[in-house]
Amino acid sequence: MLRPAVFLDRDGTINIDFGYIKDPNLVKLFPFVPEGIKLLKNFGFKIIVISNQAGISYGIMTHADVKNVNNKINELLLGFDTYIDAFYYCPFHPDYNSPEEALCRKPSPDMIVQASKELQLDLMKSYMVGDKSSDILCGLNAGVKTVLLDYEGNTEEINILQNQGKKPNFVAANFIEVYNFITSDYTENSN
């Protein structure tokens, strides 16, 4: 049976983005993220991280660095009795890699499509949450509903989307608003 999922960007969405994070000790989750993830999982969603990690192509970090940071995120979440079900990341960038290699990079829906096949996810009932226009475009390209998480009230990402004639289904100021929108929208559209 297919399960609904909430796809989350990583840096800037669930943890503070200090720029190419490779030291797990620098990982700091945003307020309400652990509680929100736990509530979404309890509601029945799989939680999947979808992130671009071009720092690998730039030579700033390694695959091991990315995995160590991912493990640290789950370690912190386990303190709240929850966890991320799976992490997917694209290590490539078109400036450093071939166009074929960089196909996985958001706004491409490739990572969402791959996760949906491997984890038997129902994209018709799934959501993408992120802090950048590329996250929203990724979700739209995959056919899932989208939430722009705007912690700082910055209109730049909305403007980028509007210039392309696109918009998210919802704009949230924090992770509790993300949870409230997704569960309300899901309940409303499942009847």
Quote the pLDDT of residue 191: 65
Give the side-chain half-sphere CA count within 13 A for 127.
Answer: 27
Q: pTM for this structure?
A: 0.96
Of 11, 85, 135, 150, which one is the catalytic site residue?
11
Quote the pLDDT of residue 97: 86
Q: Is the peptide bond before 34 cis (omega within 30 degrees of 0)?
A: no
| Catalytic (active site) residue 122 | no
Question: Per-domain residue ranges for the chain?
Answer: 5-190
Instruction: Decide: helix, strand or coil at residue 50.
Output: strand
Q: Confirm if 19 and 60 have CB atoms less than 8 A apart.
A: no
| Catalytic (active site) residue 65 | no
| Cβ-proximal residues to 24 (8 Å cutoff; 6+ apart), any chain | 68, 69, 71, 72
Quote the pLDDT of residue 190: 79
Quote the pLDDT of residue 112: 98
User: Quick one: which of 1, 10, 8, 5 has its CA closest to 129?
Assistant: 8
Sheet holding 145-149, edge to edge: 86-90, 46-52, 5-8, 127-130, 145-149, 170-172
Q: Confirm if 145 and 166 have CB atoms less than 8 A apart.
A: no
Ranges of residues in the chain with a pLDDT under 50 are none
The CATH code for residues 5-190 is 3.40.50.1000
Of 9, 65, 85, 131, which one is the catalytic site residue?
9
